[in-house]
Amino acid sequence: MENEKLMLKGVKVVELATFVAAPSCTKLMADWGADVIKVEALFGDAIRGMGGTFNSPMTEDENPMYELENGNKLGIAIDIKDEKGMEVLFKLLENADVFVTNIREQSLAKSGLSYSQLKDKFPKLIHAHILGYGEAGPLKDKPGFDYTAYFARGGVSMSLMEKGTSPANTAAGFGDHYAGMGLAAGILAALYKQAKTGQGERVTLSLYHAALFGMGLMITTSQYGNEMPLSRKVPNNPLMTTYQCGDGRWIQLALIQYNKWFPKFCKVIDREDLINETRFNTITAVVNCTDELVSIVEKEMMKKNLDEWSALLEEADLPFEKLQTVNDILECEQAWANNYLFKTKYSNGNEGILVDTPVRFETMGIKEYMPAPKLGEHSAQILENIGYTADQISELQNSGVIK
């Protein structure tokens, strides 16, 4: 790809972050053409050692969990607790447009890296910060992960469970990725300001707020009696729930315009006798007996397998979708046709599949993928680019300031 086509060509980003949310933000920016330097401690980003929890490789030569969040970046490993290490970080920030971190505010301030400490020193720098719970309130200093701040405190787990059962064991990194995308959007707005005024900005996004934003429709309507969680057997709309098919697989109906689509659906399931049934044929009536209609539809859906129902619903042009597992997605024709998935070869020769970042640009296309950096892989190259001599680099390495 020609560099001129990269949307964020010339934008320099320094990342001091771990795990998923903030690194996924800079991964988006790297995919869009920004020059991202990932700064790690000498022991590395903690996610390098998380693969075992998810039955995934976590060696230096094959580490998919780290790879997913950190491809297309350059990497340097620095001991920023050392004065000379901090000097290196400040030199990187001198040349940067954006600083992205998820370090807690107290620790940032202790290291001299909070926004208030940097804004005068680097007036054009955009200071982008992923938080757990926000900048104020009793939880502002509490550590936050998507399991806790997003799924638990944000009401997601309790809203998405089947009513009367236990909360689901949530999908790791789910909330992190949406927070990362949201922070990237905020950074782009700040870059626009920076281009116009030359001034930096503080950009924050909390996992907790990201959850509230995602749950906005449900939080708003809860004031009026729309209580979560719901049972799939007693939904707000009996044609907006899941049904099991005859082969044991599941289908999601999404007949949002109930009055319009109910007659057509009745024909699909060969129950035209229901079309004039006054208890069921309008949304205002059916809300009083949703469980009855769900019970009827359940029995009908068991008469055919998922593929048969899919063909009939597609022919009727009714909105639905099969419920895919993550293993189904690895073989999903739609995902591969749009390059939402891609294959990569690790340095040990093994091949794996990764998910590409969303958002596409017509003229840019998809940037060629560069594997995530091994720990400290580009330290010397990065230091040389900011003016360090070979002797100075060797001294830093020998004294344990860099890896």
The pLDDT tens digits of the residues spanning 225-278 come to: 999 999 999 999 999 999 999 999 999 999 999 999 999 999 999 999 999 999
- Structure confidence by residue, pLDDT tens digits, 167-187: 988 999 999 999 999 999 999
How far is Cα 385 from Cα 74, in angstroms, rounded to an integer?
Answer: 12
Split at pLDDT 50, 70, 90, the class of 2 is low
pLDDT confidence of residue 3:
78
Is there a catalytic annotation at residue 247? no
Amino acid at 289: C
Catalytic residue among 97, 176, 270, 356: 176
366 pLDDT more than 60: yes
- Structure confidence by residue, pLDDT tens digits, 276-327: 999 999 999 999 999 999 999 999 999 999 999 999 999 999 999 999 999 9
Over residues 359-368, mean pLDDT? 95
Kindly tell me the burial class for residue 41, based on how many C-beta atoms sit within 10 Å of its own C-beta (0-12, 13-18, 19 or more). middle
For 3, 45, 110, 112, 339, the CA distances from 31, given in Å and listed in that order, are: 12, 20, 32, 30, 14
Share of the chain above pLDDT 70, in %: 100
* Summary mean pLDDT of the chain: 97
How far is Cα 46 from Cα 21, in angstroms, rounded to an integer?
Answer: 13
Split at pLDDT 50, 70, 90, the class of 196 is very high
pLDDT confidence of residue 168:
86
- Structure confidence by residue, pLDDT tens digits, 30-43: 999 999 999 999 99
User: Under a CB-based contact definition with an 8 Å cutoff, are residues 232 and 251 in contact?
Assistant: no
pLDDT confidence of residue 202:
98
Record the tokens describing residue 239, joined without a space: 């044609």
360 pLDDT more than 60: yes
- Structure confidence by residue, pLDDT tens digits, 100-153: 999 999 999 999 999 999 999 999 999 999 999 999 999 999 999 999 999 999
1 pLDDT more than 80: no
User: What region does 72 belong to: left with phi over 0, alpha with psi -120 to 50, or beta?
Assistant: left
Over residues 357-365, mean pLDDT? 95
How far is Cα 262 from Cα 310, in angstroms, rounded to an integer?
Answer: 17
User: Under a CB-based contact definition with an 8 Å cutoff, are residues 27 and 71 in contact?
Assistant: yes
- Taking each helix axis from N to C end, the angle separating 174-197 and 21-31, rounded to the nearest 10 degrees, works out to 50
Closest CA to 282 of 264, 265, 259: 259
363 pLDDT more than 60: yes
Amino acid at 276: N
